[in-house]
Structure 1
Amino acid sequence: MTKRSQAVITTAEERPRDGWNDPVHGSISWHTLLSGDITPTDSMSAGIAELAPGGELKPHRHDPSEIYFIFEGTGIVRIDGQETTVKAGTTVFIPGNAEHGIRNESSATLKFFYVFPTGSFADVVYRFPEN
């Protein structure tokens, strides 16, 4: 019998902070909120990401599509070469395998909620261009 997802109510403070700070990936931190390896969920994964002033998630690709919802700050999203300014209240849909990244050129922290249509965040394989 297949395990069924359960309701989950959580906060970023309850989840460990993870992140990257290197020339290949950029400088970004996140809290994974929902992922089948840490929560009893099976069809979506989601979290909250933060970019400090000057921070960036470098351009990359992954198979699943993704949604960003910006809830604090401003930044620049680049999708397949096209840059767009985003701010609190902006929703961004990123098609699967589209090259994309986001950067914070402001003096305040940029925070966004992200969602993948896959049961575990570990299933999302980030592919960065070779440097």
Structure 2
Amino acid sequence: MAEIFIQPLAEAPWQNSSPERIKIGANPNTRWRLLVDATHRDSHGLSVGYGKIPVGEDLPLHSHAPQEVYFITQGNGLLLMKDEKVRDIAKGDSVYIPENEPHGVKNTGTCDLEFLFVFPGDSWSEIEYNFKNKP
């Protein structure tokens, strides 16, 4: 049975895209930490991570079956959407992304763009990313 736990952000290790993910379109310069995830702790039903996009870099346009929420904690940039639409995003913004909706993030600011991401599901590793601009 799952119990309450606290995951300090600084104690969660940074992760990078694998060569396989890069081959299907992931940016090798983005990083993330898994905070609530069944692969690391006894949790279920939610997966929460913390992403970092360096200045000038992006999380490429992609989609996935589950819905997702972003909460921007630092920086500013553009939310990339289908049909080449974009919206400004900045620290303090929440973004709801419906299931299978193409989306991405470009850091247009002067510091790293950082954000929480939340998925319904036990583990981030269960999410199948479909990148729109495959190399």
Question: Is the structural similarity TM-score above 0.5?
Answer: yes
Structure 1: gaps spanning 5 or more residues: none
Superposition deviation, residue 8 in structure 1: 1.7
Superposition deviation, residue 79 in structure 1: 2.4
Superposition deviation, residue 5 in structure 1: 2.3
Q: CA RMSD in A?
A: 1.6
Superposition deviation, residue 12 in structure 1: 2.2
Matched residue SS, 1:76? strand
1:22-41 residue pairs with structure 2 within 5 A? Answer: 22=22, 24-26=25-27, 27-41=29-43
Aligned pair 1:83/2:78, yes or no?
no
Partner Cα separation in structure 2 for residue 6 and residue 97 of structure 1: 32
Matched residue SS, 1:13? helix
Cα shift readout 1:21-68 (whole Å, capped 9, x = no counterpart): 958212311001011111110110001101110121101111110000
Corresponding residue pairs, total: 128
User: What TM-score comes out, normalization by structure 2 length?
Assistant: 0.88
Residue in 2 that maps onto 1:67: 69
Kept in 2, the 8 Å contact 1:52–1:108? The answer is yes
Partner Cα separation in structure 2 for residue 31 and residue 55 of structure 1: 18
User: What TM-score comes out, normalization by structure 1 length?
Assistant: 0.90
Which residue among 46, 55, 58 is the counterpart of 1:56? 58
Aligned pair 1:114/2:117, yes or no?
yes
Matched residue SS, 2:50? strand
Structure 2: gaps spanning 5 or more residues: none
Higher helix share: 2
What amino acid maps onto 2:93 in structure 1? T
Aligned pair 1:5/2:2, yes or no?
yes
Query: Share of identical aligned residues, percent?
Result: 27
